[in-house]
Amino acid sequence: MDFSIIIPTLNEANYIEETVAKIRTCQSGTLALEIIIIDAGSKDDTVELIDEKVDVVYRDSTLTGAKYKSLNKGAQMAKGEILLFLDADTLLPSNFDLLIKNALLKKGVVGGAFEFQIDGNGIIYRLIEWINRVRYRVDRRYFGDQAMFCSKKSFEQVGGYPKEPIMEAAYFCQT
């Protein structure tokens, strides 16, 4: 298994089907991948909508309010050498798997994330995107909605996501 895509969920019925479908249509088809859903106790039909469309579904309502626990649980269950952490409402670009693999082959690169882009028209959205791009180029901290990735080995070496109730991805980048 080359890739494990870990998607933490909590009441994501409005987004999850499109996200999973986009993963399937945007992958290159040359690398093996598994999709792992870690559900923190959804009250809607999030799990039922994608249960047959993913490889692993793990439900545990004790994960509610601690996204870092869901992300770490998914990484623990993952079989892939590369981990991709994806928010349930985040869509990936075409050939994302090859883009990630090529990025991780570069000397000194242990992880990364995709450019932040908002699906909407208007100058305010472009301004928000620009501000975020400057921010993560300067401080090298990404947010979860940027589809963060790293090798499983690197993830384990740093001890996974830190125990932070919010902005867990930004803190993870500091380790």
Residue 120: phi and psi, rounded to 5, are: -175, 155
Rounded Cα gap, residues 15 and 8, in angstroms: 12
Q: Residue 137 above 80 pLDDT?
A: no
Instruction: Please give the pLDDT value at position 126.
Output: 67
For residues 6-12, average pLDDT: 96
State the amino acid at position 174 in one-letter form: Q
In this structure, the strands spanning 82-85 and 33-39 are unpaired
Structure confidence by residue, pLDDT tens digits, 99-110: 999 999 999 888
What value does the mean pLDDT of the chain take? 85
Rounded Cα gap, residues 171 and 162, in angstroms: 7
Instruction: Please give the pLDDT value at position 140.
Output: 64
Q: Residue 169 above 70 pLDDT?
A: no
Higher pLDDT, 132 or 89: 89
Structure confidence by residue, pLDDT tens digits, 54-99: 999 999 999 988 888 999 999 999 999 999 999 898 889 999 999 9
State the amino acid at position 155 in one-letter form: F
Provide the token pair at 84.
């991709």
Three-state SS for 123-154 is HHHHHHHHHHHHHHHHHCCCCHHHCEEEEHHH
Instruction: Please give the pLDDT value at position 171.
Output: 56
Q: E-strand spans in 46-135?
A: 56-59, 82-85, 111-112
pLDDT tier at 152 (50, 70, 90 boundaries)?
A: very high
3.40.640.10, 1.10.10.10, 2.160.10.10, 3.90.550.10: CATH of 3-116+142-174: 3.90.550.10
For residues 31-52, average pLDDT: 95
Higher pLDDT, 104 or 133: 104
State the amino acid at position 97 in one-letter form: D
Instruction: Please give the pLDDT value at position 134.
Output: 65
Q: Whole-angstrom distance between the N-terminal and C-terminal Cα of the chain?
A: 26
